[in-house]
Structure 1
Amino acid sequence: MMRGQLGHFSPAVLLVLSCFLGSAFSIDTSAWVGAEYQPARSSNQDWLYHWDGYKEEVAREIPMIKQALSFTAFRVFLHSAIYFASPERLMSTMDEFLEICQRSGIRVGFVFFDDCWSHEGLDLQKPCQPTKGLHNHCWMASPQDAERLNGVDHFKPYVQEVVRRFQGDSRVLWWEIFNEPHVTDPYPQGNFSEALRAAAFGWAKALSEKPVISCWNEADDTARGTNTSNAYTELNDAHQYAQPWNGISNAVFKNDTGKMKGGLVTEAGARWYQGTNSDAGSPLTLIDWLKKLRKNPAAKFVPGVMIDWEVMVSNSNTRWHWGGQAQDQEPAIPWHQHLFPDGSPVSYTEAAAIRRYITGKDEFLYFNDFLNDVPNPGSAERFLRLDAPFRPELTLKDGLVEMALWPDTAATVRLKLRHSAEDSYEIALDADKKTLSLSRGGKVRASFNVSSLDCGLLSGGMKELKGAWNLLRALVDGNRVQVWLNPMYPDVFPETLPVPSGPRVPIRAMPPRIDFEDPEPLKEGGLEVTAEGGGFLDYFSVLPPVLYGSDWPGRGVLYS
């Protein structure tokens, strides 16, 4: 029953208590919560080579990440070519980067090798330019195929000198040998990758006091027909882009070698992307799973998680799905990523739920993700069909209201704020006319042409996948009502989009679609959501009237 008793504490408290309680699972990763980090302007790992051009942006972004998400950990990909170009330069960059992270209370796990995406084409003198719509178009496998011709032992100095340099450094959480090695592919990827990960694990483990992860899903090696037989990993590493999370049957607990001391989901889910047939393990389903594990006495441990791949909405283009095509429209809601370059969250609801999980502080005035309206031990996706008015039990004066909605074809979704029998502010989203409007007393006070958006408004039958989730957010603060619909990456750049090889460009706080000041504002009232023509809600929340977002360079924090 001890696990159930500890379930009320934050990961930070659990980390301290675990030192006294002792456990067969002696590496407590439960407080390791974050995502992969690279600066928003970068397109791949080469930002570490061009550090002088990114350092100022990194120093700006990381405190914003801490403020909005409370992350405690980053997963950061190194690259062998950057090391061999200048070993000391890379390690100096890592040291400066770790110092910036430490100031915000964030520690780092570093990845040495990766078989994903492009196995040739890395040019450190010419940063890759992303193509709109193409997911991870610029990501470079490490090592590149040309480097592999040097043989496995060529990479021993890279691994050992980096580990030796940061041996005992409390700013480093773990070393990860190989991300998704193509262990069943032919040379130079497959056999070479398997040999390299086995050798590199030994090189790192001989020097490191830190946990060393061999690779993702190593516990499945036998099933994949490889000969390593999950002999290496002490921290069982899992990747999951699906739901449900399946409680204690999740892959992160799947390791029968007797060596497992804990677990880490280094790629933990993604949102339901437009045009796909299901949720891919969205942040709210993930947090629901973790909260249930904390209360489950049968859980061997609570794993650390790197949520929804990447922190920043960036030039990596992972806001698009793996199957994205060149010049695809901006997504209504990014598939991956948490924070726009101005510092505003993709979803304030997700961000607050993550903060609550990490810190234990609940900022919600109201929250419903509909995941537990019926028994849901596996933390599968659930949503609310808007067959009747949805009325949260809250009297709203000032607050930030947010919901993810899927309107049926030609539906009109209405959100009423400070609602009473006499009057209300009404936000109407008309899927047929493609309009967003704000009314009071039956009179339209402001409107926006939704068809002007690159993503437009995604509506249609869920069963036929003709629509998708849209994000609607409203800030009611005194006499001011602001409305956002499907905020997008380009919205924060008033002049031009940034490119990896180009100069820094101005950033503005995420602008609303509607901004209305009422000379005689309503005082307070209820909330109501209806959908004429049908629709679904994925979540609904109300938070204090606080916006995260800043102009850069310029006035600094625009909203607070």
Structure 2
Amino acid sequence: MVPLIFLFLTLFNYEVYGRERWTEAQASTWFQSQTYIMGSQYITSDAGNQLEMFQNDTFNPTLIDYELGLAESLGMTTMRIFLHDLAYSQDPTGFKSRLETLLQICSKHGIKPLLTIFDSCWNAFPKAGKQPEPRTGVMLSAWVQSPGVIALLDQTQWPRLQTYVKDVVGTYANDARVLGWDLWNEPDNSYNATQVTALEQLLPQVFDWARSVDPTQPLTSGVFHGVTGAVPMIQINNSDVVSFHNYDPASNFEGMVKTMQQFNRPIICTEYMARTRGSSFITHLPIGKQYNIGMINWGFVNGKTQNNYPWDSWQNPYTTYQPYLWFHEVFRNDGTPYMVEEAQVIKRLNGCPKGLKSTAASLKGLTCYNAYTTPLNSTDAAAACAKTYANLGIIGSAAQNADVMNYVSANFSSCDKFYIGLYQDAYGGYDWPMSGWTYDNSAYVNWKTGYPTNDTTAKCVVLNKDGTWTNQACSTPQCYICSY
């Protein structure tokens, strides 16, 4: 027995040194230095789980580049990305090379990922190598835990896990491209009493291993069923910034935010958005913005994880019909948003990326504007706006018109006129065509003296640099303004 104990102590020396948990002031300083944290959980749409995303044979940087471009188009600033200990253990050098490639692509698109080290959800027995195909009509049917219950219960494997944590976190401990480290996703989600006992021993050590390499980024682990109990308190008491998961309607979500505020640390919601449960971008993002907490939803591009199906698909697979409303996911597999209105809300709350955010009274809440200087006819301009999840410019008040006029005058000297969305209908009136809504008559107009003319070919409207509006032929190429 003595030799076995000696062997274990030799293999696994738990004594670690490193930085302390951040103080509340340090955590606050870090949070205030970040661009507003908003994004999605991300896995490539051609991968069913973390291993399939990161193993050499199935790693797909071309697809990552394309899909993170979609995130950039919404102004997202982070992606929560799950790693896996087996992907590392079978090929440490190759794994870190692929992770480096991922970080380079993230940086290209202005995204700082929150990297997740371990996960206790779904298949408890992960295996490296070729991964199983997903089951038809079932969400996350190929997803695997990390490290899985065998390694959790076998303490002789913990040194391997320690090496993984310290090497990966240590390699990027001072890398500004990394937002932070989510050390364990929903640690006690599906464990029995014996497994939870092992977890209560291992989880604090995982935090210690990560701290031992002095990361300049925060450590966290999100609570998901309240803040009481041994495991949630281990998570909270070791986290530099606190995080949580919540898929409840808005009132309950706001209540959880208030619960997390008692810990006096920056807050990130690292999972939300399940439409059929009353958790959506439209209802929840404004609450996150109001309380200044980071917001990361589950699901991004629909693919092999099949996150469009709800949790009950495990008991009742959707084999003969599709759900009437997608559960998760932002984009369809073809790169179009599942709901344009959601894409517009995300962009607005991300601060109107690369454009104007008007604080003036607006029509239908459209407050963001982007101007473009490539001359297009009105139809093509509207189509170009639609590709950015926007309408051809809609202006709802005099104050908003002044904001837009000042924006284009200050930034786009090469253009004298810009198409806006107002157009003449079949009855001679002028309307705003809005994606997702019926056509709205214009209550506010700012016609230049002598306009609109009676020219039957001049059915489209442009904004002039002096803020006045004139009508002209829709076929005339002009610069244009998009709004959302």
TM-score by length of 1: 0.57
Q: Which residue of 1 aligns with 2:305?
A: 316
Structure 2 counterparts to residues 484-499 of structure 1, below 5 A: none
Higher relative contact order (CA 8 A, sep 6+): 1
Q: Which amino acid aligns with 1:36?
A: Q
CA contact 1:163–1:204 (8 Å) conserved in 2:
yes
- Aligned pair in 2 of structure 1 residues 184, 124: CA closer, same or farther (>3 Å)? closer
Structure 2: stretches of 5+ with no match in the other structure = 1-24, 367-380, 391-422, 440-455, 462-479
Change (3 A) 1:220 1:247: closer
Q: Report how many residues are paired.
A: 362
Return the alpha-carbon distance in structure 1 between the equivalents of residues 325 and 189 of structure 2.
34
* Equivalent position to 2:98, from 93, 112, 115: 93
**More deviation in 50-59 or 332-341?**
50-59
Residues 60, 228 of structure 1: CA spacing in aligned structure 2 closer, same or farther, 3 A cutoff?
closer
Amino acid at match of 2:293: P
Distance 1:145 1:331 in 2: 32
Which residue in the other structure is 2:30 paired with? 27
Aligned to 1:503: none
CA RMSD of aligned residues (A): 3.8
What amino acid is the match of 1:264? Answer: I
**Contact 2:43–2:81 (Cα < 8 Å) also in 1:** yes
Alignment correspondent of 1:75:
80
SS of equivalent residue, structure 1 residue 153: helix
Contact 2:223–2:235 under 8 Å retained in 1: no
Q: Which residue of 1 aligns with 2:295?
A: 305
For residues 134 and 246 of structure 1, do their structure 2 counterparts lie closer, same or farther at Cα, with a shift above 3 Å needed?
Answer: closer
Aligned residues of 2:84 and 2:118 also touching (Cα < 8 A): yes
Q: Which residue of 1 aligns with 2:475?
A: none
Change (3 A) 1:48 1:522: farther
The answer to whether 1:140 aligns with 2:144 is: yes
Judged with a 3 Å threshold, the aligned counterparts in structure 2 of structure 1 residues 51 and 105 are, in CA distance, closer, same or farther, namely farther
Cα 1:213–1:35 shift into 2, 3 Å = same
Contact 1:30 1:304 in 2 (8 A): no
What TM-score does the superposition give when structure 2 sets the normalisation length?
0.65
CA distance in structure 1 between the aligned counterparts of 2:203 and 2:80, rounded to whole angstroms: 18
Cα displacement string for residues 192-247 of structure 1 (whole angstroms, at most 9, x for unaligned residues): 22322211001101213334434212894534687738421221111110122568
Please report how far the alpha carbon of residue 319 of structure 1 lies from its aligned counterpart in structure 2 after TM superposition.
Answer: 0.6
Where do 5+ consecutive residues of structure 1 fail to align? 1-21, 294-301, 370-396, 403-416, 428-471, 477-519, 526-542, 548-560
Task: Compute the displacement of 1:317 (Å).
Answer: 0.7
2: CA distance between counterparts of 1:250 and 1:175? 22
Verify: 1:190 aligned to 2:179, yes or no: no
The CA distance in 1 between the partners of 2:213 and 2:231, in whole Å, is 30
1:115 equivalent in structure 2: 120
Q: Which amino acid counterpart does residue 25 of structure 1 have in structure 2? A: S
CA distance in 1, matches of 2:75, 2:89: 34
- 1:106 is paired with a residue of what secondary structure? coil
Map 1:9-408 → 2, pairs under 5 A: 25-28=28-31, 31-46=36-51, 47-50=53-56, 53-67=59-73, 69-120=74-125, 122-151=126-155, 152-182=158-188, 185-186=191-192, 189-217=195-223, 220-223=226-229, 228=234, 230-245=236-251, 249-251=255-257, 254=260, 256=262, 260-271=264-275, 273=276, 278-279=277-278, 281-293=279-291, 302-307=292-297, 309-324=298-313, 325-326=316-317, 327-360=319-352, 361=355, 366-367=363-364
CA contact (8 A) 1:25 1:261 kept: yes
Change over 3 Å in CA distance of 1:183–1:35 after alignment to 2? closer
How many percent of aligned residue pairs carry the same amino acid? 20
Q: Secondary structure of 1:35's match?
A: strand
Task: Say which structure is richer in strand.
Answer: 1
Q: Which has the higher helix share?
A: 2
3-state secondary structure, aligned to 1:172: coil
